[in-house]
Structure 1
């Protein structure tokens, strides 16, 4: 309805072609007859019909070059030829319109195109509800309850399926030549493929040279203990083929075979484990009553000014806790090579790569949508749900702006530490 509402004069009177008296007449009629606001036959549906039909008549005037009953149209070669009935779905419910026709059948209305069955806004509503995790049946029930509009599950499915075309374009769009940081994380979804099984969907988020966050793509993994080297090589090669020639640091959480594949695609890239994930995994091996003390003893390790200082603090930690929790010591020992890289960097860089919290906030929104759905019939259905959830995030870009405002110190540190690789990538 935006196009119609915008066709008002500067005095904010009724839309062109609709008099204030006619609008008041409808309102008075609604009061007298007790009409409901929404739903079929409701006041908003009547107003929508009035405004849209008025706009269609205006479009016909423009098409023919003269107004209705204007003598200037005599002998012009084309003229009005009655109307045809057409029902469209609107936010106010289904509305039956009388669409004007011309004798040459050359009239192509813009406000409601010839094969259009829904006015702008309804499809956005369906996609928004789908992004929140509602099923086609739940969306259909919602539209019926709130708007009095009977929309079949098949129609809703058709609307959301169109999103897949946009997803394919998004997944293959060109990327920046260099990223200071990539975060790679996964969420698990239930997919019914014979039996319901947990499957990972990997999310790759890049921090751009300008300090904004950008989801670069989604990849579905297999059910099992992890993806092989060929899988990760394919994913990373896809990113490189889309334009990513260099990445300074990749932050991930113990994804098997990923570090080796990163080394093949971007030989200079540093792989950093997520410290928050490492701490979280640490607590899984300890009694809850010891968590606070373990956290206190580990803080000097991951906040150490150098790797040697971190080793000294970890030795002290091991002396205290190894007998009680040997699995914790083994966890840190096995992860040490991916843990320590960030210790060599300036604090501004540490704050960026310290944790995957940046991507965790995205995953939290995705998980809400996934949880609402329960499980998915196919991998494509799961990917569509995740994609819709991502597209619904931060529409005003305010979170990205907040990050950018804190980015300058980190940008300077990256530029100096990595010897101009950011500048080289932007040339």
Structure 2
């Protein structure tokens, strides 16, 4: 084995993992792996340093104990004859590795890099040659975090919750099948976005949504004021069972998109202009009048489209009862769709996933990255919250810090 490059024995690594040896702790598998990576990086550093000082040369190694979140190990740091070498990977007198160093592979993974790109990065930066199996073992560290996140306690009340789905191909019984990931995004009482859960579904319907809502209830959610959904089958019935006081607002944008699929291209511009008068109306009464006018003008050509709006009107028109500030927050599921756009950036290079776990851990890593920006309340939250407190009298005020 050379000073600047090594090959990890993945077979031995996998065998130890299969035998039940843990990843973390004193005898964990990751501790020697981190030691190897760190010492390889130090070796690359001193080689570069000596290349710039032809009259200098190596002078043995010094040893010190290093603590990491995965375990503790003895690190060997190379020395030079002139004493001018100042290592940066692990600095002098440093006895703990930074999270950045420990989670280097995980960070690359969370940004959507393929295993091949991660391997190339490690080889270019540190002269380390690792296999996909090794990277997979490292990223599997996210699984216990994911499970803890899925089971964590939630707040007792959420003013607004959005639900939407995104589909992926997952290998099952030797073939790839399409499955839906349902994302539940909320605004908490402080006005900050919070992802409550990611649920993988084989089929949707009232029974499935009942299990999801029961999970939220078991984790501490006592009340949801408004739930915004994209027309999920069976959801209004399920939420009425668990949270009977919750108002369900169907996403108007989804309804518009679905409607335009059935309108001839030559009529779409005119139809859209008339439809806009419905969903942009100032009041519920005005919206219902415009819907009548829409039916008079277009009902004979597109009866199914008009009937769809009529059938769903009770849940499509919920937002009209609120002030403009609240309307903007609830009439569309754009907030959760933005999360899904982040997910797609991570998964766009992947045609399918070997199993459900490989998909969920990548989405969880992506969620951690996305949520780093959710540190401030949404715009004008105090005004929105005061308006919601009036509409949902007694349901939010017990949880406000007044």
Normalising by structure 2, we get a TM-score of: 0.76
Q: Give the match for residue 73 of structure 1.
A: none
The equivalent position to 1:212 in structure 2, one of 177, 182, 192, is 192
**Is the alpha carbon distance of 1:173 and 1:315 closer, same or farther for their aligned partners in structure 2, counting shifts above 3 Å?**
same
Q: State whether structure 2 residue 96 is matched by structure 1 residue 111.
A: yes
**Structure 2 Cα separation of the partners of residues 278 and 155 of structure 1:** 46
RMSD: 3.4
| 1:253 pairs with one of 230, 252, 259 | 230
TM superposition outliers: structure 1 runs of 4+ over 4 Å: 25-28, 32-35, 83-87
- Alpha-carbon spacing, 1:85–1:351, altered in 2? closer, same or farther (3 Å): closer
- Residue of structure 2 in register with 1:56 after alignment: 64
Query: Residue 211 of structure 2: which of 230, 234, 237 is its match?
Result: 234
Q: Relative to 1, partners in 2 of residues 1:58 and 1:127: Cα closer, same or farther, differing over 3 Å?
A: closer
Q: Which moved more, 1:151-160 or 1:200-209?
A: 151-160
Q: Which residue of 2 aligns with 1:172?
A: 151
Aligned-partner Cα distance in 2 for 1:131–1:85: 30
* 2:115 paired with 1:136: yes
Which residue does the alignment assign to 1:38?
Answer: none
The 3-state SS of whatever aligns with 1:121 is helix
Distance 1:96 1:181 in 2: 45
1:414 corresponds to 2:394: no
CA contact (8 A) 1:123 1:159 kept: no
CA distance change for structure 1 residues 152 and 123 in 2, over 3 Å: closer, same or farther? Answer: farther
Please list the CA deviations of residues 142-164 of structure 1 after superposition, one character each: whole Å capped at 9, or x if unmatched.
Answer: 32234432222222111110101
The reply to whether residue 334 of structure 1 matches residue 311 of structure 2 is yes
Determine the structure 1 residue equivalent to 2:287.
310
For 1:346-385, list aligned pairs within 5 A.
346-385=323-362
Once the two structures are superposed, what CA deviation does each residue of 1:134-180 show, in whole Å capped at 9, x if it has no partner?
A: 33333213322344322222221111101010011111111111111
Q: How far did 1:377 drift?
A: 0.8
After superposition, the C-alpha distances for 1:365-406 in whole angstroms (9 at most, x for unaligned) are 0011122222101111111111111111152x3x552x4342
Report the equivalent of 2:71: none
Write out aligned runs for 1:74-113 (5 A). 110-111=95-96
Q: Which residue of 2 aligns with 1:160?
A: 139
Deviations 1:321-360 (A, max 9, x none): 2233233212212221210111111212111102111111
Q: CA contact under 8 A between 1:246 and 1:425: conserved in structure 2?
A: no
Q: Larger Cα Rg: Structure 1 or Structure 2?
A: 1
CA gap of 1:26–1:155, structure 2 versus 1, over 3 A, is closer
Instruction: Give ranges in structure 1 of 5+ residues lacking alignment.
Output: 1-24, 36-40, 60-82, 88-94, 98-108, 113-118
CA shift for structure 1 position 86: 8.8
Do the aligned partners of residues 319 and 141 (structure 1) sit closer, same or farther apart at CA in structure 2, a change above 3 Å counting?
A: same
Distance 2:151 2:129 in 1: 36
Question: Which residue does 1:67 correspond to in 2?
Answer: none
Please tell me whether the aligned partners of residues 156 and 222 of structure 2 are also in contact (alpha carbons under 8 angstroms): yes
Aligned to 1:9: none
TM-score by length of 1: 0.72
Corresponding residue of 2:30: none
CA distance in 1, matches of 2:99, 2:326: 45
What's 1:121 paired with?
Answer: 100
Question: How many pairs does the alignment contain?
Answer: 339
Other structure's SS at 2:180 match: strand
**Residues in 2 aligned to 1:58 and 1:345: alpha-carbon distance in whole angstroms:** 58
Partners of 1:137 and 1:265 in 2: CA distance? 46
- Equivalent residue of 1:192, what SS? strand
The answer to whether the 8 A contact 1:191-1:376 is kept is yes
